[in-house]
Amino acid sequence: MRATSLTVGSAALAATLLLTACGGGDSGGEAEDGGQDTSACVLDEVGVEVGPANAAPVAGDTGNIPVTVTNQGAECTLDGFPTVGLQADAGSVTVPEEEAAQAQKLTLAEGTAATFTITYVRGETGGAGSLDVTRLKIGLPGAPQTRGFAWSYGPVVLVEGDAPEASVGAFQQAGD
């Protein structure tokens, strides 16, 4: 009986030592250089396509702008919402996450894509409650870099002073 107990104990000890040697299995993909997730997709290794949009034609209408992110490098993950900013001569604003959207963790193999949608309400050009947007800034979750794109969809309504009447949806797997 004692030999059986010792064998089970030795096996458990060996398994514990093996897990410890492998890093314990709880690293979460974090790097030792500041905690950034090493598997997160970064803008330098993805293609980003904005549109074609269902632009809002006149003030008060709602427009939708799809954005496609295609991985061009090693497998990476999108874990969270994209960051989106709108820039104008008068300043810039951050587009909030869509309240009803749920972020999901997506793994993108090389050549695969994910999409998200920016929804906005068009404002009046030069209006006091509008931001005459000229540039769109897009960032990926877990990465500090952004990429800029021309904005040709008209001004965006501002609510509560400086918040855009706009939202950014969660990433969805694109394709099959």
* Domain identity same for 79 and 60: yes
Residues 112 and 163 in one domain: yes
Instruction: Reduce the DSSP state of residue 87 to 3 states and report it.
Output: strand
35 assigned to some structural domain: no
pLDDT of residue 38: 58
pLDDT at 176: 58
Same domain, yes or no: 22 and 55: no
Residue 50 shares a structural domain with residue 2? no
19 and 68 share a domain? no
Top-confidence residue, 176 or 69: 69
Residue 85 sits in the same domain as residue 14: no
What would the pLDDT profile of 119-156 be if each residue is shown by its tens digit? 999 999 988 899 999 999 999 998 889 999 999 999 99
Residues 44 and 20 in one domain: no
Non-local (6+) Cβ contacts of 167 within 8 A are 95, 96, 97, 98, 99, 101, 118, 119, 120
User: CA 118, CA 94: separation in Å to the nearest integer?
Assistant: 12
Residue with tokens 């598997």: 39
Query: Are both 26 and 44 inside the same structural domain?
Result: no
pTM for this entry: 0.76
- 86 and 12, same domain (yes or no): no
Lowest mean pLDDT among 10-19, 32-41, 89-98, 129-138: 10-19
Task: State the pLDDT at residue 33.
Answer: 37
Specify the DSSP class assigned to residue 165. Answer: S
Residues 125 and 152 in one domain: yes
Number of domains in the chain: 2
Arithmetic mean of pLDDT over the chain: 81
- Rounded to whole angstroms, the Cα distance separating 72 from 47 reads 7
- For residue 131, give the CATH number of its domain: 2.60.40.10
Full domain range(s) for residue 11:
1-30
